[in-house]
Amino acid sequence: MLRVQSLPRVARPGKPNRRCIFLALCVLVAFACWVHWFIAPTSGLLQVQQEPTLPVTSVLHPLTPDQPALNSDIAFSTKSFGELFNQYEESFPQHGKSEPGKHYRVENTYLLSRPDNRDDGTVLIICVFNDAKSWGMNRNVTDFLELVKSFDYPKEKISIALLTSSVSEFEKAKHLFGFYIQHYQQLSVIFRNDFALSGLTRSNRHDHTLQGGRRRMLARYRNYALLSTMESWHQHVVWMDADVTVVPSGLVQKMVQSGRDIVEPICLRKVKSKWYNYDTNAWVGQRKVRSADQDDSDFVPGPLNAKHMHNMPD
């Protein structure tokens, strides 16, 4: 006897049946409707609060202190005068300062009118310093200008720019420029003191806890000096410290003729009849990287894996 028995339908392994699929779709639709109704801003039941976006204070480090606002009571102003030597004076607002910043520039129109003085080898010498003490013991701004004058380099191709945080040094340089402009293309002096680091003095300027803020301050002053005084016809920039007392007369010429993009001469200091490398910030290699949670007092900028001037081959 042959009997045929109808067996219940069994879903194939790995393939869901239609009822399961239908129930899953219903659950998804119901959940989507509930979410839309429950968190909609107009329902008043729940609103998603977005954290406000904080303004960017630095592209370098998130803990960089904010600069005070520019003094809105001081307007930017300029005036020009002169015949043989064109003179320009600018006044500008500073960050959190009651006194304005100042910029004085004098140009030797005769030297600048000669194309050969601007075509090749033009040099802009920049010195950023704090006040009268920055020149060193028994020295002043005149000694600096005389040192530059001693360079064996065509004076008619040289411009000089000074930036100081001292009003009196600004006025001294401005007065002396009247005697020196006959030799040079352009002379500039800037007074600006709104980037100064609180608590920094000449005696503690090498303290490790102050280096982060000090380097930031110097970078701001140097960038401003460069951007405010460099002309399109300047082809080389020479940075000089205020307290350098001796520079070989042919050094600038040698640096310009080297063909290198960046040239760093070694700076030596004599102590008890012995010479040693003073500028330990002159090195080639990798620099330290500051983590996002380190503030100025926890981080000392400097080399990580580098060679210094005194341990490089001749």
The pLDDT of 173-198, averaged and rounded, is 95
Residue 260 has pLDDT above 70, yes or no: yes
- Number of Cβ within 10 Å of residue 102's Cβ equals 19
Structure tokens at 132: 């009268």
| More confident call, 310 vs 196 | 196
The pLDDT of 290-296, averaged and rounded, is 79
- Number of Cβ within 10 Å of residue 132's Cβ equals 15
Residue 266 has pLDDT above 60, yes or no: yes
Residue 158 has pLDDT above 90, yes or no: yes
- Number of Cβ within 10 Å of residue 177's Cβ equals 22
The pLDDT score that the predictor gives to residue 38 is 53
pLDDT-derived band of residue 82, with 50, 70 and 90 as boundaries?
Answer: confident
pLDDT tens digits for range 24-42: 666 666 666 655 555 555 4
Closest CA to 264 of 209, 310, 205: 310
pTM as predicted? 0.76
Query: How far is it between the farthest Cα atoms of the chain?
Result: 133
Question: What are residue 236's DSSP bridge partners?
Answer: 123
Please give the Cα distance from 197 to 212 (Å, whole number).
10
The pLDDT of 152-174, averaged and rounded, is 98
pLDDT tens digits for range 208-223: 777 778 888 899 999 9
The pLDDT score that the predictor gives to residue 268 is 84
Please give the Cα distance from 74 to 79 (Å, whole number).
16
Strands (E), the chain: 77-81, 85-92, 101-108, 123-129, 158-164, 186-191, 236-239, 268-271, 274-277, 283-287, 303-308
Residue 65 has pLDDT above 50, yes or no: yes
The pLDDT score that the predictor gives to residue 314 is 58
pLDDT-derived band of residue 104, with 50, 70 and 90 as boundaries?
Answer: very high
Yes or no: domain 76-264 corresponds to CATH 3.90.550:
yes
Direct distance between the N- and C-terminal alpha carbons of the chain, in angstroms, rounded to an integer: 111
Domain boundaries, the chain: 76-264, 266-313
Q: DSSP code of 293?
A: T
